[in-house]
Amino acid sequence: MKTSLISYPPRPAGAFRASAPAFPDSGPAFPARPADADDGGAQPIQFVRRIADGESALRRFLRTTSRIFTDNQSTRELEDLTTQAQLPLTTGRRIAVVAGHGGAGSSTIATILASVYAARRADPVLAADADPGEGSLTWRLGASDEPQLGCLAPKLLAARGGDLRGFLSLLPRTLAGLWVLPSGAPGQPQLCATVTQALSRVFAVCVTDGASTIAPVSPPAAAVLATSHATVLVTAATPDGVRATIRGLTQTAPAEPEIVPERTVVVLNSPYPHGAAALQTNVACRELCQLGLAVVAVPYDRHLASGALITPSWIAEPTLVAVTRLAGQVLGLSRQQWPASRARAAVARHQ
């Protein structure tokens, strides 16, 4: 069952096929800038040579062919998991994504998690980037040429009393229907958290890339964590990645009590094709579960590992299934009640 918090402009026809196992064939987001636009220097898009599909053409062909003769298990699982990602909400939920260590792929996970919510839900979804400079989430969604958060914030806060139509001229939106709050608020570490909190009455789900590790937590990420309803903690699915994340958790837990285990899902992300082969996944999951954390494994995906603009329809089906599982779990955690006194204390530490 899908519910909508408010009335909002309809999504373009064909933007999402509810029965499809993957995303629609749409690009990352926005119209390209004119070739003669004043770039003020080289743009990152110039460094992109070739972007691969999430899985090989042969593997995708075999997976598609198998559905003709069998009831594909991944398709059935995806349908069941989608129901969890579509849980009805009465108030906006804010989800923070941070990394257990450098290079874990937290911006990638934040990008595809927000894209899953946008594709699977009828109500509006926002992806926010807390990076004070130009964040990875902003660039990988194709919004790096949009006005920065520092310029948008006064207008966004002024429009928060209205409905979604008031944001049409302020916030960029991807072709898949995901709204984007760009990065860029140097010297204002509280700004992203302030804006996303204010926009929660308009957007059903807000996924914020904290653009930080947990040891140490940057001031913008700390503010985002303090005002979030649930946290996604991303670690590389390698022995060193899991070791660094567990060490960071045990070191920062006393100092950063807003990282609440009961509200946190750890993602074992596989950004490298052979990294997970060295990891004893069962042992890693057991150690993380002993800390009170839920764990979801996301497999290696060639498209996501390319580090280029993300086209949701190119993501491999196993990756989509895993991220949809994550979406359902973290949304369920975000719906749990958090004592008001604890929430006020967490926010007060970052005022």
Two structure tokens written together for 92: 């906006």
- C-beta atoms surrounding 232 within 10 Å: 28
pLDDT tens-digit map of 326-351: 999 999 999 887 654 444 444 444 44
The residue behind tokens 């429009």 is 159
| pLDDT tens string 135-185 | 999 999 988 888 999 999 999 999 988 889 999 999 999 988 999 999 999
* pLDDT per position as a tens digit, 96-137: 999 999 999 999 999 999 999 999 999 999 999 999 998 999
**pTM confidence score:** 0.80
> What pLDDT sits at residue 82?
86
Q: Which fold has domain 92-348?
A: Rossmann fold (3.40.50)
Query: C-alpha angle 271/274/279, rounded to 5°?
Result: 90
User: Can you give the residue ranges of every domain in the chain?
Assistant: 92-348
More confident residue, 311 or 205: 205
Query: Is residue 61 predicted with pLDDT exceeding 80?
Result: no
Query: How many residues make up the chain in this entry?
Result: 351
Written as six digits, the tokens of 350 are 């970052």
Instruction: Identify residue 262 by its one-letter amino acid code.
Output: E
